[in-house]
């Protein structure tokens, strides 16, 4: 297959698996913190926001999210931002294909590896804009750096890999394996070991410089302010052991899960995908010259001998490199445990995509090689086509959760606006959240809820405290500190301590008459209108009165989140 056909194959696979229902997607969790900021910004304002740096030591991570979101919204709205995310992911798939093409002359290995890369099932965040615009570029830096290194452009590769430190550093350790890939077509020896040692020293110097810069500019090393060395070592080692097992096992678990969840809604699309994969696999060439895979026994010594075909010998170092890359995907995953396989936390496996895809390609190629040896290529091709089709279906299941989450959010915020028509300076809306239903793959009621209300409406600048919504913690009534007609909410809600100065703080008290309490009853959001009883004392809540929301200008999120409110 030529490059154009492969690019079309990867583009279609990515589209169906991750963006088929993009028109029904919206914003989720971290998106509200970043993308909302640039929705109505000017070029000058966007540039100023980008120069802020993000505060986590990842200037390119936040900067690229702001830039791509701004461009997408200017060009065609939120849906166009998803097109940009899709383009980045598809380009990464093609870069991985080019890398494999350089490392192997076996068409089956290269194409099945590229497909596995597209459909990598351990990380389910491909469509999540914060990740497609902020994490995928880091993966692009890594892929480019690997390609530059194996093609002999070492200086350019080191310059490129710095991009991962500036964007999303968990990708960085994978680049330690570059000398193994560069020498994949020759036997690893002492010269390779020396090159590997020099390479590790250079990367060590680069990361030390990055840590020093972060310490000087942020007074921390990034997302985790000042982690203990023991915690970092234990978490790193644990994830390096558990992560590869979980990421590779998803190639088996996801198809099995999908098989049990098949409902026929996308039958036509899946049949077309299956037919397409069959067509591709039937036409892939595999060099099977040499001895077949067989086990022999000597008549004299009675010793068993395993004869390994040249294909396996030629690719065993590549498979070992993939395994090394898989382990190196986890040393810097210090904020999430590698057992996470659903939702935003599954990003812990994002760096594992290269190593896991190489191993998957080796297994797929081995299956086809053995099948060809025993004249069963058609059966093997049909089986692998079914395997890839089930991974496509899993991607569609993930997309359904994204669609549901956006529907839930729109219903939620429409109901909040309907139930809370009278909002003024310092109003606090508390929501009892234990009865909410969240899709498995993306939260509808995430940590970012306190950020959203003042992006739906533009409240007067002279107000001292912006109205805000907080989700109440379980058993909140037992933790509520009350005094006469006021509350101290420090232990009752999920706080965001870094919110700006015009937002309500955890150590402040709020008059109960300026508090609105909402709860879920019979799967419907309702407002508590009577007094709130705590420890035998009654507290008068904010009264429901004539709507004043119509007096406020609409914010950038209004048209996205609010349905028609009567």
| Residue pLDDT, tens place only, 380-402 | 999 999 999 999 999 999 999 99
* pLDDT beyond 90 at 370: no
Within a domain: 566: no
Phi, psi (degrees; rounded to nearest 5) at 328: -75, -5
Write down the pLDDT at residue 556: 94
Same-domain pairing of 218 and 277 = yes
Residue-by-residue DSSP string for 304-353 = EEEEPPHHHHHHHHHHHHHHHHHHTTSTT--SS-TT--SGGGGGGGGGGH
* pLDDT beyond 80 at 6: yes
Nearest to 157 by CA among 202, 191, 96, 103: 202
Is the CB of residue 139 less than 8 Å from the CB of residue 353? yes
Structure tokens of 52? Answer: 């802020």
Write down the pLDDT at residue 354: 98
**Reduced to 3 states, what is the DSSP secondary structure of residue 294?**
strand
C-alpha–C-alpha distance, residues 323 and 196, integer Å = 16
Same-domain pairing of 365 and 438 = no
Within a domain: 264: yes
| Residue pLDDT, tens place only, 53-77 | 766 778 899 999 999 999 999 999 9
Same-domain pairing of 390 and 364 = yes
Same-domain pairing of 251 and 152 = yes
Write down the pLDDT at residue 443: 92
Strands, E, within 178-307: which ranges?
294-297, 304-307
Structure tokens of 444? Answer: 């509808």
Q: What is the mean pLDDT of residues 197-208?
A: 95
Tell me the β-bridge partners of 74.
Answer: none
Within a domain: 411: no
Write down the pLDDT at residue 442: 94
H or E stretch covering 561? helix 558-561
Q: Quick one: pLDDT band at residue 303, thresholds 50, 70, 90?
A: low
| Residue pLDDT, tens place only, 425-473 | 888 899 987 678 889 999 998 888 988 998 999 988 888 888 889 888 8
Domain end position, chosen among 377, 403, 429: 403
Do β-strands 457-458 and 428-432 pair in parallel, antiparallel, or remain unpaired?
A: unpaired
- Rounded to the nearest 10°, the torsion over CA 386, 114, 338, 491 is -90
* pLDDT beyond 70 at 296: no
Write down the pLDDT at residue 165: 93
* pLDDT beyond 80 at 547: no
* pLDDT beyond 80 at 309: no
Of all residues in the chain, the percent with pLDDT exceeding 70 is 89
pTM recorded for the entire structure: 0.92
9 vs 297, more confident: 9
Same-domain pairing of 383 and 513 = no
C-alpha–C-alpha distance, residues 426 and 19, integer Å = 40
C-alpha–C-alpha distance, residues 138 and 123, integer Å = 15
Query: How crowded is the C-beta side of 500, counted as CA atoms within 13 Å?
Result: 9
Same-domain pairing of 493 and 389 = no
Write down the pLDDT at residue 298: 55
| Residue pLDDT, tens place only, 159-202 | 999 999 999 999 999 999 999 999 988 888 899 999 999 999 99
Is the CB of residue 114 less than 8 Å from the CB of residue 97? yes
| Residue pLDDT, tens place only, 231-282 | 889 999 999 999 999 999 999 999 999 998 887 788 899 999 999 999 999 9
Within a domain: 225: yes
Q: 80: buried, middle or exposed (CB in 10 Å: 19+, 13-18, 0-12)?
A: middle
Within a domain: 430: yes
- Range scoring the smallest mean pLDDT among 27-41, 116-130, 544-558: 544-558
Write down the pLDDT at residue 273: 95
Domain range for 541 is 420-561
Q: What is the mean pLDDT of residues 336-364?
A: 96
Domain end position, chosen among 347, 369, 403: 403
C-alpha–C-alpha distance, residues 33 and 49, integer Å = 12
Of all residues in the chain, the percent with pLDDT exceeding 90 is 61
Within a domain: 409: no
N-to-C CA span, the chain: 58
Same-domain pairing of 306 and 248 = yes
Q: Considering the chain, what is the average pLDDT of its residues?
A: 88
Same-domain pairing of 310 and 381 = yes
C-alpha–C-alpha distance, residues 42 and 60, integer Å = 20
Domain end position, chosen among 403, 433, 453: 403
| Residue pLDDT, tens place only, 177-188 | 999 999 988 888
Domain count for the chain? 2
Same-domain pairing of 433 and 396 = no
C-alpha–C-alpha distance, residues 521 and 435, integer Å = 8
Q: 504: buried, middle or exposed (CB in 10 Å: 19+, 13-18, 0-12)?
A: buried
Q: Which residues contact 540 (CB under 8 A, 6 or more apart)?
A: 485, 512, 513, 531
C-alpha–C-alpha distance, residues 431 and 303, integer Å = 72
Within a domain: 517: yes
* pLDDT beyond 60 at 49: yes
Q: What is the mean pLDDT of residues 308-333?
A: 88
Write down the pLDDT at residue 299: 55
C-alpha–C-alpha distance, residues 347 and 128, integer Å = 10
Q: What is the mean pLDDT of residues 318-341?
A: 94
Same-domain pairing of 397 and 428 = no
Same-domain pairing of 150 and 297 = yes
Same-domain pairing of 65 and 150 = yes
Within a domain: 414: no
Q: What is the mean pLDDT of residues 292-303?
A: 58
């Amino acid at each position: 297959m030529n490059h154009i056909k492969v690019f079309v194959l990867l583009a279609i696979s990515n589209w169906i698996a991750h963006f088929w229902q993009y028109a029904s997607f919206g914003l989720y969790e971290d998106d509200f913190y970043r993308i909302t900021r640039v929705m109505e910004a000017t070029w000058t304002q966007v540039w100023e926001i980008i120069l802020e740096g993000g505060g986590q030591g990842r200037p390119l991570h936040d900067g690229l999210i702001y830039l791509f979101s701004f461009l997408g919204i200017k060009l065609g709205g939120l849906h166009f931002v998803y097109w940009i995310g899709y383009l980045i992911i598809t380009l990464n798939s093609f870069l991985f294909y080019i890398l494999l093409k350089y490392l192997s002359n076996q068409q089956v290995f290269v194409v099945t590896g590229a497909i596995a890369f597209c459909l990598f099932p351990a990380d389910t965040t491909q469509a999540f804009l914060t990740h497609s615009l902020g994490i995928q570029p880091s993966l692009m830096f890594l892929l480019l750096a690997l390609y530059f290194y194996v093609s002999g452009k070492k200086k350019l590769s080191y310059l490129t890999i710095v991009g991962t430190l500036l964007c999303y550093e968990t990708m960085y350790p994978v680049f330690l394996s570059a000398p193994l890939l560069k020498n994949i077509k020759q036997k690893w020896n002492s010269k390779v070991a020396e090159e590997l040692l020099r390479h590790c020293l250079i990367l060590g110097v680069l990361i030390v410089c990055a840590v020093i810069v972060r310490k000087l500019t942020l007074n921390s090393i990034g997302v985790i302010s000042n982690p203990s060395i023991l915690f970092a070592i234990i978490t790193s080692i644990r994830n390096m052991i558990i992560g590869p097992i979980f990421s590779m096992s998803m190639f088996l678990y996801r198809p099995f899960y999908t098989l049990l969840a098949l409902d026929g809604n996308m039958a036509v699309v899946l049949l077309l995908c299956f037919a397409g994969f069959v067509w591709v696999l039937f036409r892939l060439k595999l060099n099977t010259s040499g001895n077949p895979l067989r086990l022999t026994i000597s008549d004299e010594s009675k010793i068993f001998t395993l004869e390994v075909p040249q294909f396996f010998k030629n690719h065993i170092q590549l498979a070992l490199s993939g395994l090394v890359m898989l382990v190196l995907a986890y040393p810097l995953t210090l904020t999430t445990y590698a057992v996470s396989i659903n939702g935003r936390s599954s990003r812990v496996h994002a760096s594992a995509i290269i190593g896991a895809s190489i191993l998957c390609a080796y297994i797929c190629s081995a299956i086809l090689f053995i099948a060809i040896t025993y004249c069963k290529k058609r059966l093997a091709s049909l089986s692998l086509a079914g395997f890839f089709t089930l991974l496509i279906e899993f991607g569609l299941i993930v997309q359904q959760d994204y669609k549901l989450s956006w529907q839930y959010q729109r219903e939620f915020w429409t109901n909040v606006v309907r139930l809370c028509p009278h909002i003024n300076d310092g109003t606090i809306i508390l929501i009892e959240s234990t009865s909410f239903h969240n899709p498995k793959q993306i939260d509808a009621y995430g940590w970012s809820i306190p950020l959203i209300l003042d992006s739906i409406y533009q409240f007067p600048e002279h107000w001292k405290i912006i109205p805000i919504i907080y989700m109440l913690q379980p058993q909140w009534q037992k933790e509520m500190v009350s005094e006469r007609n006021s509350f101290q909410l420090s232990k009752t809600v999920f706080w965001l301590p870094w919110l700006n100065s015009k937002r309500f703080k955890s150590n402040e008290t709020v008059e109960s008459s300026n508090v609105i309490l909402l709860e879920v009853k019979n799967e419907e959001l309702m407002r508590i209108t009577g007094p709130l009883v705590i420890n035998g004392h009654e507290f008068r809540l904010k009264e429901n009165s004539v709507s004043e929301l119509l007096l406020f200008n609409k914010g950038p999120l209004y048209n996205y989140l609010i349905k028609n409110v009567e």
